[in-house]
Amino acid sequence: MSLGIDEACFSIVNKYNISVMLYSYLSECYLCNGVPRATLLASKNTTLVIPTKYPLHVFYKTNYEFCHTTYNFKEHGSYGWNISQEDLCSDIYTIREPINSYLPIFVAFMVFTLLWVLFATCKVIVRVVKGKLSPDSVHDDLDRLQEAESSNPVIRTSRVNTRIRSVDTFRGISILLMIFVNNGGGKYVFFNHSVWNGLTVADLVLPWFAWIMGLSITISKRSELRVSNSRGKIILRCLQRAFILILLGLMLNSIHTKSLKDLRFPGILQLLAVSYFVCATIETIFMRAHSQDDLLQFGRFTVLRDILDSWAQWSIIVAIATTHTLITFLLPVLDCPKGYLGPGGYHLFGKNANCTGGAAGYIDRLVFGSHMYNKTHNPVYGTILPYDPEGIMNTISVILVVYMGVHAGKILLLYYQCNARIVRWLLWSGVTGLIAGILCHFDKESGVIPVNKRMMSLSFVLTVSCFAFLLYAILHFFVDYKQYWSGAPFIYAGLNPITLYIGHTITMGLFPWAWKLTYATHWSLLAMNLWTTTLWCIIAYWLYLKDVIISI
């Protein structure tokens, strides 16, 4: 029997003298009824191909007996199960050992580590030979950026040299991880988005990109206000950039659309455009151009000046988040319970099969109709209603993520000492993580608001912000302050993230970025997806060498 990725062979010997119906459902399916899997003929051996991504619940029932068991099947393994009246609910046994499906990840990690060591060694050797191995007296990138903005531009400098390296490194990590995930992530569960509730590596990339976009808003708007630009003109430029991003997003959506009737309106670039415009506009209106000149204005509360400096902005953001939460839990949806956050389908034993996404899904279907993400098959929950992960409610939710980044940028600007910055970022990481944990009861399926990327739930937004604050604090310390790491190779991708995103979307599946595989395995898919990501990293490095930064 030929087995594909994440599949195993399951042979069941029915020793009853009657036929038995076998039911199953994946453990990832929360409070689900079993789905009929096969009819086990009397005194026969039935062989099935079963999925192995998640543990599988299997059970059968006769007129007098019921047997249920859960087993974690492994890829390409062969398993057996004998069912009989004499040995009710016997153990599932292994006929042929499974393969190690995680070995490709270990090998890939070792290969990239070896290449990095070789590259670093060669770089040191070249410096020694050329006599350039000398101590550096490099200033903080933020100070250099502010110098470049305020000084008379007599000496021509590279555009790359006036940027904050940790920001580009963070952005580069997000975009390269996004490219890797969008191309398949080797078909590993943790490199793909969660089925519904929960959090994987893939779920982090878009919110992280939105978060670092918020941090960049703070730096860019402060710079524009310092050169006495009109606030109205700045807002118009923000609107122009948002419009261009929306237009590019619609163009990308049209690649696989047969007609305008099916053109999807929401999308990643559209979501980023709206959240960018809202946060950038709020900052442009309320930001003071020279906060550093008023350090004593808060008196004994100077230590909290990053918060007090933006109380008006936070009031608006909290109001937006509160409105989003109230709509989610109070908006009545026909034949659905208020505050439902599930996927519908098999969820909760099928009681809310037509309530996919609750209020958020209802609003998207009402506003967009057929112009939205229209896939209705969920690999775990079966048939569900159309639901768009970048819909209206999710876009509103992402505004909070972006503004978390905006506030991280304020900490970067308002405090000169590295310790002061890092302590505050770590505190924000701890607070947002704690609140998220309280909301979801530190569990995937429990709590008032579960962690859910597809709905951009409040607990999810706070969780990803927690990790973003933590990651940026680490990058700032190692890249900007101690300069133990240059940020390569991620820093190159962070210079042109939108270019890389559009480019990888257009070329997805095309040679030489990808090719058709005769027999796909984790080995071949992981190698191809890593090659795709690496190739885009090489393209980003070439743009860096040419000092090309394509901005919108």
Predicted confidence band of residue 541 (pLDDT cuts 50, 70, 90): very high
Q: At what angle do helices 201-226 and 141-150 cross, to 10 degrees?
A: 30
Instruction: Give the chain's length.
Output: 552
Predicted confidence band of residue 301 (pLDDT cuts 50, 70, 90): low
Q: Is 324 a catalytic residue?
A: no
489 preceded by cis ω (within 30°)? yes
Among 57, 76, 139, 193, the one annotated catalytic: 193
pLDDT in the model for residue 136: 45
CA torsion sign, 540 to 543 to 544 to 549? negative
Any alpha helices (H) in 371-417, and if so which ranges? Answer: 392-414
Lowest-confidence range among 250-259, 284-293, 508-517?
284-293
**pLDDT at 154 exceeding the cut of 80:** no
pLDDT in the model for residue 134: 46
Q: What is the DSSP letter of 267?
A: -
What the chain holds in terms of domains, given with CATH numbers, is 7-96 (2.60.40.1120), 165-290+304-546 (no CATH)
DSSP 464-506: HHHHHHHHHHHHIIIIIIS-S---TTHHHHTTSHHHHHHHHHH
Q: From CA 291, how far away is CA 314, in angstroms rounded?
A: 17
pLDDT one-digit tens code per residue, 199-255:
999 999 999 999 999 999 999 998 888 887 789 999 999 999 999 999 999 999 999
Chain position carrying tokens 């490095």: 541
**pLDDT at 523 exceeding the cut of 90:** yes
pLDDT in the model for residue 139: 41
pLDDT in the model for residue 229: 73
Instruction: Give the HSE-up count for residue 271: Cα atoms under 13 Å, Cβ half-sphere.
Output: 25
DSSP 113-155: HHHHHHHHHHHHHHHHHHT------PPPHHHHHHHHHHS---S
- Percent of the chain's residues with pLDDT above 70: 91
Predicted confidence band of residue 85 (pLDDT cuts 50, 70, 90): confident
> What average pLDDT does this structure show over 315-340?
95
- The CA-based diameter of the chain, rounded to the nearest angstrom, is 93
pLDDT one-digit tens code per residue, 94-127:
999 999 999 999 999 999 999 989 988 998 898 8
383 SS3 class: strand
Mean pLDDT of the chain: 89
pLDDT in the model for residue 418: 92
**pLDDT at 1 exceeding the cut of 90:** no
Q: Which of 192, 214, 211 shows the shortest CA–CA distance to 202?
A: 192
Q: From CA 194, how far away is CA 478, in angstroms rounded?
A: 31
Evaluate whether 281 touches 308 at the Cβ level (below 8 Å).
no
Q: For residue 220, which amino acid is it? A: S
Lowest-confidence range among 165-179, 365-379, 416-430?
365-379
Q: From CA 242, how far away is CA 92, in angstroms rounded?
A: 56
